[in-house]
Amino acid sequence: MKFSLEWLKYFLETDATLDEIAAKLNAIGIEVEDIEDPAQKLDGFRVAEVLTAEKHPDADKLQVLSVNTGEGSPLQVVCGAPNARAGMKGVLGLPGAVVPANGMKLRQSAIRGVESNGMMCSVRELELGDEHDGIIELPEDAPVGEAFAQYQGTSPVFDVAITPNRPDCMGVYGIARDLAAAGMGTFKPVEPSGIEATHPCPVEIRTDDPEGCPAFYGRVIRGVDNTVPSPDWMQRRLIAAGQRPISAIVDITNYVMLAYGRPAHAYDLAKLSGPVVARRARNDETVQALNEKTYTLDDTMTVIADDNGVHDIAGIMGGEHSGVQTQTTDVLLEIAYFDPERIGVTGRKLGLASDARTRFERGVDPAFLDDGLAILTSLIQRVCGGEASEVVRAGSPPSEPKAVAFDPGLTERLGGIGIPEDEQRRILESLDFTVSPDWQVTCPLRRHDVEGAADLVEEVVRIHGLDKVASVALPRVDGVARPTATPEQQVERRVRRAAAARGLHEAITWSFLPTDQAEHFASDGEALWVLDNPISEDMKAMRPSLIPGLLSAAKRNADRGADGARLFEIGRRYLRGKDGASDEHPTLAVLLAGEKTPRGWVNGKAAMFDAFDAKAEAEALLAEAGAPVDRLMVMSEAGAQFHPGQSGTLRLGPKNVLARFGALHPATLDSFDIDGPVMAVEIYLDAIPAKKGKQGFAKPDYAPPALQAVKRDFAFLVPAELAAGNLLRAVKGADKAHLTNARIFDVFAGQGVPEGKKSIALEVTLQPGEKSFKDDELKAISDAVVAAAGKLGAELRG
């Protein structure tokens, strides 16, 4: 949310500096994200007077101006604006100034052979509006030579982040109240002037949806002149807030929303027919909104309608058909209180965001209906004239304030700081709470966030100063502290360090996914956890896998020119348990995308990652996590998200899947708009069996064997479909006492090998114990290896 310092000072009488106000905003929980000084963008632009204007000798549409800048001799400027003439005052950009609208740096140059020293500027070029038909015309009393930023009264602009629990600060008025309570000045409350009603309201106004719209107020103003522009001070404040001035009445409704956090709407009375009603929409009813898009509604949504149909998606956006235009002469002002939950659900269904929705779904002040309508009416009559009707009030807003029994001593017990009772009372009353002698605190209706005494402690402490809360160390008993990390946390630490040591970059992604991505990565028949009130539609489902988040991160990197991505993340997957409860599963995911090695004069083309790289990462990280890697089985069925011929699973037994790895399916990559290949690994840390005994990093001392190992080679003919890993595992189990390692060094099929067969050659390592092997012992081990292989249909090659 943006607002200018000048706007803030309209509601807050203060001598505090810009930096002091920014520091105090941060201290009371209104985070300042940025401070922009528009005067810096207008550096080099000054008020100037056109002394003479003559036709350019070589261009029909150009003039050569003699311009008085207030210093030295007049400057010669070539200008193409049709309204440029002798005697007028405007804004001159001097050489060296940068035009805000396009970033062009002005310089002395020749235009059609005539020297020009700068540029006379339009409203659009200085980003003060959309007009560009001519240059800015200033009043006759504008001081020649004065910096335009100073003449314009440009003011620094705050950009602040308002947390969802503080809808009362969604207007400059509420922020000024908080700053005044924190000692930054004196709050200047606005007392709406009385409006003289000259006639009954000619339009019936009612609410037929008291749940969605408990209160619906309105009045008609006849005889307005919407052709006049809104005042300069109002346009200046709206532009500072990022709003484009449109017309006087629209600008006034926007101003009231940004100033007081109170959205309202103005209808062209001539475009309405019959009663104006807040009601439920009908299924498949449509409305064209002010953003020129058409939305299909359903019967859960509240709308504002008349006999002709829907004119307004209640609390979110008005309709195109009934909006005010410059020729509008009679307007219906509407100000209402809408149910926050209904507004949020409707906005998410329609995928429609607006400033009004942001305020209504957080909860506006239900006590500000009459005052808001009076302020709107007063501003419209001041700017556009007109006669106001009586106010029609349909329904009533929530009006029962919340009362909280408060103990001032709770501030020290919960907040950690002792504050005198009279100071606590002053703080609460300055925030518009009512405090009785026995400390019954009545909350203003706009403070929906206050639910109990702890919330009042928070209010007192943040205004008094969180920086005044002393840092106190937690008590610690004598002796050596016990380890606080659980075995699961220790495993996560080890694999995190191991992944980083292997050249992978850690990513932290959201635990929420778009529903379609979550469904794509869910197991067959697995129900997702879907949030009823998500942050957005793109964060609606709890993730059943960590891979989608890493895919999104890889795409962002690729879109920004990264040649490859080596990412990992340790987090939780969220699955439905058998009893319907949420199950959290600690998981490690790895993503390898793009180039493994760049192209070069040795290897020619760049090498891409493949499924074997994914398997290597899976095995290395599983080993670090304590899994018995030498006993793992490589099996298929990695899931529909993976390429069926380039993926697999690592299992400890047929059913216990510790990890899945391989190339992701092209359909998966298409859904993320990623060019392949992309390799992924997902390790299920909670599936790794815990080691027996104590957990820790200490390892037994290593003593090398006294006798040299013996190596033997075996070549087997095996069925072509037999997985080499199965043969390797069988050989390793032939003699666990002496056979310490086995590895495959050759696989061959072709000439000399029978059809339907392949040759696999292995090297086995045999380690003697206290004495060297004898020939008969080596033969017995070799026979055991051959026998173990024979159970899989392997036979020793001759």
Q: Which residues pair with 197 in a beta bridge?
A: 388
* Within a domain: 597: yes
* Within a domain: 481: no
**Residue 208's CATH number:** 3.50.40.10
∠293-297-300 over CA atoms, to 5°?
Answer: 145
Residues 647, 675, single domain; the answer is yes
Residues contacting residue 761 through CB under 8 Å, at least 6 positions apart: 713, 714, 715, 716, 744, 745, 746, 747, 748
Query: Could you tell me what percent of the chain has a pLDDT over 90?
Result: 72
Average pLDDT, the chain: 91
**Residue 603's CATH number:** 3.30.930.10
Tell whether residue 721 is among the known ligand binding residues.
no
CA torsion angle for 704, 709, 715, 719 (degrees, to 10)?
A: -40
Tell whether residue 776 is among the known ligand binding residues.
no
Cis peptide before 544 (omega within 30 of 0): no
Residue with tokens 């619906």: 216
pLDDT at 572: 94
Residues contacting residue 584 through CB under 8 Å, at least 6 positions apart: 572, 573, 574
Residues contacting residue 788 through CB under 8 Å, at least 6 positions apart: 730, 731, 733, 734
CB count in 10 Å sphere of residue 41: 18
Using alpha carbons, select from 364, 436, 432, 371 the residue that is nearest to residue 398: 364
Residue 750: band (very low, low, confident or very high) from pLDDT cuts 50, 70, 90: confident
Question: Would you state the structure tokens that stand for residue 510, as one six-digit string?
Answer: 């959201």
Q: Please report which helix (H) or strand (E) contains residue 429, including its range.
A: helix 421-430
pLDDT at 83: 93
197/386 Cα distance (integer angstroms): 11
pLDDT at 726: 86
Total domains in the chain come to 6
Buried b / exposed e along 141-172 (16+ C-beta atoms within 10 A): ebebeebbbebbebbbbbebebeebbbbbbbb
Q: Which residues pair with 663 in a beta bridge?
A: 679
132/474 Cα distance (integer angstroms): 65
Q: Are 360 and 263 in contact (CB under 8 A)?
A: yes
* Within a domain: 147: yes
Using alpha carbons, select from 764, 754, 752, 753 the residue that is nearest to residue 727: 764
Residues 611, 746, single domain; the answer is no
> In this structure, are strands 215-222 and 331-337 parallel, antiparallel, or unpaired?
antiparallel
Residues contacting residue 532 through CB under 8 Å, at least 6 positions apart: none
Tell whether residue 459 is among the known ligand binding residues.
yes
Alpha helices in 132-231 (DSSP H): 148-152, 172-181
Using alpha carbons, select from 1, 2, 4 the residue that is nearest to residue 156: 4
Phi first, then psi: what are they for 107, rounded to 5°? -150, 165
- Give 214's DSSP letter: S
**Residue 179's CATH number:** 3.30.56.10
Using alpha carbons, select from 74, 374, 325 the residue that is nearest to residue 224: 325
Domain boundary among 352, 373, 395: 395
Say if residue 501's pLDDT is above 90. yes
153: left (phi over 0), alpha (psi -120 to 50) or beta: left
442/403 Cα distance (integer angstroms): 4
Say if residue 498's pLDDT is above 90. yes
Residues 586, 652, single domain; the answer is yes
Q: What is the mean pLDDT of residues 410-424?
A: 94
* Within a domain: 480: no
Burial (0-12, 13-18, 19+ Cβ within 10 Å), 485: exposed
pTM of this structure: 0.66
Residues 45, 124, single domain; the answer is yes
Task: Give the residue, 505 or 578, on which the prediction is more confident.
Answer: 505
* Within a domain: 314: yes
Residues contacting residue 732 through CB under 8 Å, at least 6 positions apart: 630, 739, 741, 742
Residues 601, 674, single domain; the answer is yes
Say if residue 696's pLDDT is above 80. no
Question: Would you state the structure tokens that stand for residue 75, as one six-digit string?
Answer: 């400057």
Q: What is the mean pLDDT of residues 579-595?
A: 84
CB count in 10 Å sphere of residue 391: 20
Tell whether residue 701 is among the known ligand binding residues.
no
Residues contacting residue 615 through CB under 8 Å, at least 6 positions apart: 634, 648, 650, 661, 662
223/566 Cα distance (integer angstroms): 67
Q: Are 336 and 315 in contact (CB under 8 A)?
A: yes
Residue 580: band (very low, low, confident or very high) from pLDDT cuts 50, 70, 90: low
223/204 Cα distance (integer angstroms): 19
Task: Give the residue, 568 or 478, on which the prediction is more confident.
Answer: 568
Lowest-pLDDT choice from 182-186, 199-203, 231-235, 318-322 = 318-322
pLDDT at 698: 44
571/547 Cα distance (integer angstroms): 11
Residue 624: band (very low, low, confident or very high) from pLDDT cuts 50, 70, 90: very high
Residues 675, 746, single domain; the answer is no
Distances (CA, A) of 721 to 442, 612, 639, 649, 792: 79, 19, 21, 18, 11
* Within a domain: 633: yes
* Within a domain: 482: no
Question: Using one digit for the tens of pLDDT, what is the confidence trace for 712-746?
Answer: 999 999 999 888 888 988 998 899 889 988 999 99
**Residue 142's CATH number:** 2.40.50.140
Q: What is the mean pLDDT of residues 423-443?
A: 95
Rg of the Cα atoms in the chain: 37
Question: Using one digit for the tens of pLDDT, what is the confidence trace for 269-309?
Answer: 999 999 999 999 999 999 999 888 999 999 999 999 999 99
Domain boundary among 350, 376, 395: 395
Q: What DSSP letter does each residue of 352-375 carry, written as one string?
A: ---HHHHHHHH---TT-HHHHHHH
Q: How many CA atoms are closer than 13 Å to the CA of 21, on its beta-carbon side?
A: 27
pLDDT at 437: 94
Domain boundary among 144, 167, 187: 187
Q: Residues 660, 666, 671, 675: is their CA dihedral positive or negative? A: positive
Q: What is the mean pLDDT of residues 196-214?
A: 94
Phi first, then psi: what are they for 391, rounded to 5°? -85, 135
* Within a domain: 693: no
Question: Using one digit for the tens of pLDDT, what is the confidence trace for 628-649?
Answer: 988 888 888 898 999 998 999 9
pLDDT at 693: 54
Residue 697: band (very low, low, confident or very high) from pLDDT cuts 50, 70, 90: very low
Residue 17 CA from chain centroid, whole number? 31
Query: Which domain, by its residues, includes 265?
Result: 197-395
Residues 325, 424, single domain; the answer is no
Residues 224, 247, single domain; the answer is yes
714 SS3 class: strand
CB count in 10 Å sphere of residue 712: 15
108 SS3 class: strand
Residue type at 730 in one-letter notation: A
pLDDT at 481: 73
Helix, strand and coil in the chain, % to nearest 5: 25, 30, 45
Residues 682, 758, single domain; the answer is no
Residues 670, 598, single domain; the answer is yes
Say if residue 581's pLDDT is above 80. no
72/50 Cα distance (integer angstroms): 15
Residues 552, 570, single domain; the answer is yes
Residue 27: band (very low, low, confident or very high) from pLDDT cuts 50, 70, 90: very high
Residues 635, 516, single domain; the answer is yes
58/111 Cα distance (integer angstroms): 10
